[in-house]
Structures are given as C-alpha cells and as structure tokens.
Amino acid sequence: MLTEKLPKPLLTVAGKPLIERLIEQLVAARYTELVINIAWQGKKIRDYLGDGSRWGASITWSDEGPSPLGTALGIRRALPLLGEQPFLLINSDVVSDIDFAALSSLQIETAHLLLVNNPDHNPGGDFVLNGGRLVSADGEPLTYAGCGVFQPALVENSAEVNLGPIILAAVVQGKMITAQHHSGSWLDVGTPARLQQANQWFDAGTNGMPPYSD
C-alpha cells in the first residue's frame, strides 16, 4: 500500500510530491499565506515543507492529531488561523489546471464550488448545478472537485463532521452557493491506479499539465 509509510500528499507525480506541485500553483496565483491541515504522518509533510519559504509562501500548520477529524471538523479547528474573510479550500491529492487566481476575485455570499464531470469512482456525482448555483431540485449531479471558496460562517455554525452535509443543508435552506463546471484537467489521486494515471498525464501533457479526461 503506497500510503502505509508515506502520507498521500507526499506521493510523487512526475517526480514531485502532490502537495509541492499544488503549492507551486497557489504561489503562482499569488496565494502565499497557506494553512495546511495535517493528521496521520503529518510530521513528514511538515518536515518536508517547513515554513514554505522555499516557494515564497508562509505556511501555518493545523494538526488534527493521529486520525483525520472529518472534512468539516478539520476546517473548524483551523478557522482561528484563517481569519474572517472567505478562504480557498483545496484538497492536496488533486492535480488540475484550475485557475486559482480567478477564484480570488469572486464575491462570495456563502460558498463557491468547482464541479467536474463524474469520474468512475463517483458516478452518482455530488451536487446539482443550475444557472451558476447549486440547487436542491432534481437534475444530473456533478462531482465536487475538492476545491472551493468558503465563508467561515458556513462551517463555523454547523456541528456536522463532514463538509458535504453542510453544503447540502445550506442548499436546501435556500442559501446562495454558487458553482462552476470545471472542464479542464482534473484528477483525484485517490488510488494507485489514479496515481499511475496522473503520471501518464504529465508524461503525455504539454507544459507540465495533463490532458483532460473525465
């Protein structure tokens, strides 16, 4: 098992750890104040990245302990480090060509999510997109890309452990959660097969970016 002795963010794609590749993208988009959640084997990530100065970033660490707390609970623990303004949330096991710089200029009422075509490992999708916002009506769901911009209050005012139920509840309550369909490169590197696929993408891609595949 690849992650038995190495945390997933340190798995390498095209010779570079996933999380390092992501940090380079974020810094290029002028996100330099980073808060990173760590849990199991988090010390290895912390030792590798240090304070982030190698990439022109400043990293603050939020340690969940030996076991992950759940996507929402981990965010709530990190909220004192994030401040009162909307924050960009991105999973460290995603490789993509998401335009992070464009997300920084959005006006966010509650949250703004990036959605992608449903991959084989999530054929039922997560959220229904209609007219640039999430809706609770019937429709063809798309998959959450593990990337979005969030107002702190969305997570702070909920007791849910995971983020998905918080988003769904907000949609049912009629809160404005905008979203966009990302049709570029995206891959959730969640299995050895997808790690191999990511490496193949970068081998075949141009300018270091993988070709798109749903």
Q: 40-78: per-residue pLDDT in tens?
A: 889 999 999 999 999 999 999 999 887 778 899 999 999
- Could you give the domains of the chain? 8-204 (3.90.550.10)
> Mean pLDDT, the chain, as a whole number?
91
Confidence of residue 208 (pLDDT cuts 50, 70, 90): low
- Burial (CB < 10 A; 0-12, 13-18, 19+), residue 148, is buried
The pLDDT, as a whole number, for residue 209 is 55
CA dihedral for 88, 94, 98, 101, sign (positive or negative): positive
Confidence of residue 206 (pLDDT cuts 50, 70, 90): very low
Q: How do residues 161-185 score in pLDDT, each as one tens digit? A: 999 999 999 999 999 999 999 999 9
Which helix (H) or strand (E) element contains residue 195? Answer: helix 192-204
| pLDDT exceeds 90 at position 24 | yes
The pLDDT, as a whole number, for residue 212 is 45
Q: CA nearest 140: which of 117, 112, 164?
A: 117
